[in-house]
A and B are shown apart, each in its own frame.
Chain A
Amino acid sequence: MSVVASELPGATTPAATNPCQERLDRLDWVMGDVYRAHGVVVEVRTTSSALGDWIGRTLGANRASGEPEARFSVAVGDEGPGSTSIHTLYRGITPIVRSRRASTLARTLLAELEAFSYPTRDDAVFVYGTIMAFDDRTALIPSYLAPYLSRSRRLIETSGIRMSAGPAVAVDARSGRLRATRTLLEVPPRALGRLTSSEGAPPEPLAVADHPHVDAVCWFSRGQELPVAEISRARALYVLAGDTANLGRLGGDALVSLARLLRDARCFEVRGDTPRAMLASLVDAVRGEPERASA
Chain B
Amino acid sequence: MPVAKPKARKADVTVVELDGEAVVYDRRAGVLHHLNPGASLVFRGCDGSSTIAEIAADIADAVGEPVERIEPEVRSAIRGLRKADLLEPARR
Interface residues of A, Cβ cutoff 8 Å to B: 1-8, 232-235, 237-238, 241-242, 247-248, 251-256, 259, 262
Shortest Cβ distance from B73 into A: residue: A1
Set B16, B30, B42: member contacting A237, Cβ < 8 A = B16
Interface pair B32/A6, CB less than 8 Å apart: yes
Interface pair B38/A238, CB less than 8 Å apart: no
Interface pair A8/B39, CB less than 8 Å apart: no
Give the interface centre of B25, B31, B42 by most chain A CB atoms within 10 Å.
B25
List the 9 closest A-B pairs by CB distance, nearest first: A252-B14, A234-B21, A1-B38, A1-B77, A3-B80, A238-B34, A234-B18, A233-B18, A4-B34
Can you identify 11 A-B contacts, CB atoms within 8 angstroms? A2-B77, A2-B80, A3-B39, A3-B84, A5-B33, A5-B84, A251-B25, A251-B27, A255-B16, A256-B14, A256-B16
Q: Whole-angstrom distance between the alpha carbons of A104 and B33 in the complex?
A: 38
> B8 an interface residue at 8 Å Cβ cutoff?
no
Interface pair B32/A1, CB less than 8 Å apart: no
Set B21, B23, B74: member contacting A255, Cβ < 8 A = B23
Q: Whole-angstrom distance between the alpha carbons of A203 and B76 in the complex?
A: 55
Nearest CB in chain A: distance from B46 CB, A: 12
Q: Whole-angstrom distance between the alpha carbons of A256 and B16 in the complex?
A: 7
Given contacts A8-B32, A238-B34, A242-B32, A3 and B18 within 8 Å (CB-CB): no
With A1-B76, A3-B77, A7-B31 given, name 5 new contacts (CB 8 A): A2-B77, A3-B33, A232-B21, A234-B18, A238-B33
Interface pair A252/B25, CB less than 8 Å apart: yes
- The bracket for how many chain B residues form the interface is 20 to 34
Q: Whole-angstrom distance between the alpha carbons of A2 and B36 in the complex?
A: 6
Chain A residues within an 8 Å CB radius of B32: 5-6, 8, 238, 241-242, 247
> B35 an interface residue at 8 Å Cβ cutoff?
yes
Interface pair A235/B34, CB less than 8 Å apart: yes
What is the number of contacts between chain A and chain B, taking CB atoms within 8 Å? 90
Q: Whole-angstrom distance between the alpha carbons of A138 and B22 in the complex?
A: 25
Chain A interface main SS type: helix
Residues 29-78 of B contacting A (Cβ, < 8 Å)? 30-36, 38-39, 42, 73-74, 76-77
Give the interface centre of A234, A242, A259 by most chain B CB atoms within 10 Å.
A234
Set B30, B35, B73: member contacting A8, Cβ < 8 A = B30
Chain A residues within an 8 Å CB radius of B31: 5-8
Q: Whole-angstrom distance between the alpha carbons of A194 and B68 in the complex?
A: 72
Chain B residues within an 8 Å CB radius of A232: 18-19, 21
Chain B residues within an 8 Å CB radius of A251: 14, 25, 27
Shortest Cβ distance from A235 into B: residue: B34
Interface pair A237/B18, CB less than 8 Å apart: yes
Chain B residues within an 8 Å CB radius of A247: 25, 32
